[in-house]
Amino acid sequence: MTHYNIAMFPGESAGLHPVAAATTIPTGGMVALDASGNAVPAASTVTGYVIGLSEAGVDNSAGAAADLSVQVKRGICVLQQDATHPVTKAYMGKMVYAITPDTVAHTGTCRAGILIGFDGTSPVVDTRLGAAVAVSGDVSDVPSDITALKAGMANTAAVAVVVANTAVPNGVANVTLQVKDYLGESKAGRHVLRVWLATSAAFAAPADLGTLTATTGVLLKEDTDDALATVVTDANGGAVLALDTTIDGTIHCMAAVIGIAATANAAITGN
């Protein structure tokens, strides 16, 4: 079994985590959580975040998910440079990404933590921040313990909006809504959205736009013009609306959740 000798200071326990099916965790390497929340060796192929270093190797190569668990510790680590996308001083205070269990790059999908310095040319990364919001600027004011940070942002959400005329030529505007969390990832759960449809980017009061229905989620209409509505998302935090409109032109949509709004528009023709 592979053993990595990564310097860490200070170290603290990150607890036991179930290991993914058919997976071997090497000793001393970075451990990440995959999309299912199971522990895997940190790698460029992982979409997730690093939770720390394994304290001992675990061979679950013949097991199902969660048959075995790995003990993880987290802290400030001295890691190796990726040759293709090296981490430089330009990335100080920014998120860096795991490429292998002991190597980081300035781009990727497996968040390793925040770059806080260098030991010679080796990046020094705070792996306690691997689960934090993927920042793009200075994070000198981010606390070392991100518990309070995550708790304060847990309910922060935005809504992505896409409008498409996918039913040409009969003039149906299809509106796709998806609530996102503070990492920009889909946020599961029932959410209440305020949705406003209009014929101008200024969202002026429109005439009757047609008939508004929901193909996903629940639509609670609030006016006779089918322009302002309350939408309850499905369990995945999404909703799809269909506006069967009698006009040609551009349909604009604004949707808001927790006071944060997003907009999109598309040209509707064929009426």
Q: What is the pLDDT of residue 145?
A: 42
The rounded distance, in Å, linking the Cα atoms of 101 and 116 is 19
pLDDT in tens, the chain (271 residues): 688 888 887 678 888 999 999 999 999 999 998 888 899 999 999 988 899 999 999 999 999 999 999 999 988 899 999 999 999 988 888 889 999 999 999 999 999 988 888 988 899 998 876 544 433 333 343 434 444 444 444 445 678 788 887 665 567 888 999 887 655 677 888 888 988 888 888 877 666 788 889 999 999 877 766 788 899 999 888 999 988 887 778 888 888 886 555 678 888 887 7
Judge whether 20 and 40 are in contact, CB under 8 Å. yes
The rounded distance, in Å, linking the Cα atoms of 143 and 145 is 5
Question: What amino acid occupies position 101?
Answer: P
Q: What angle do CA 251, 257, 260 make, to 5 degrees?
A: 80
Residues 114 and 208 in one domain: no
263 strand-pairing partners: 254
Task: Compute the CA torsion angle 176, 182, 183, 187 (nearest 10 deg).
Answer: -50
DSSP class of residue 135 equals -
The CATH number covering residue 261 comes to 2.60.40.10
Residues 125 and 194 in one domain: no
The rounded distance, in Å, linking the Cα atoms of 89 and 83 is 15
Residues 175 and 249 in one domain: yes
Q: What is the pLDDT of residue 205?
A: 67
The rounded distance, in Å, linking the Cα atoms of 169 and 44 is 44
Question: What amino acid occupies position 128?
Answer: R
Q: What is the pLDDT of residue 134?
A: 38
Q: Is residue 166 part of a domain?
A: yes
Query: In the structure encoding, which two tokens stand for residue 249, read together?
Result: 């032109």
Number of Cβ within a 10 Å radius of residue 136: 9
Helix (H) or strand (E) holding 32: strand 30-33
The rounded distance, in Å, linking the Cα atoms of 115 and 219 is 45
E strand map for 35-101? 39-41, 48-54, 58-60, 69-78, 80-81, 95-100
Tally of domains within the chain = 2
Helix (H) or strand (E) holding 150: helix 147-153
Residues 121 and 200 in one domain: no
Q: Is residue 236 part of a domain?
A: yes
Percent helix / strand / coil, the chain, rounded to 5: 5, 50, 45
In Å, the largest CA–CA distance within the chain is 69
Helix (H) or strand (E) holding 90: none
Query: In the structure encoding, which two tokens stand for residue 35, read together?
Result: 């999309």
State the residue range of the domain holding 243. 158-268
Residues 137 and 223 in one domain: no
Closest Cα partner for 210 from 220, 201, 197? 197
Q: Is residue 257 part of a domain?
A: yes
Q: Is residue 46 part of a domain?
A: yes
Q: What is the pTM of this model?
A: 0.50
Judge whether 36 and 30 are in contact, CB under 8 Å. no
Q: Is residue 102 part of a domain?
A: yes
Residues 137 and 163 in one domain: no
Instruction: Give the end of a domain, one of 103, 118, 153.
Output: 153
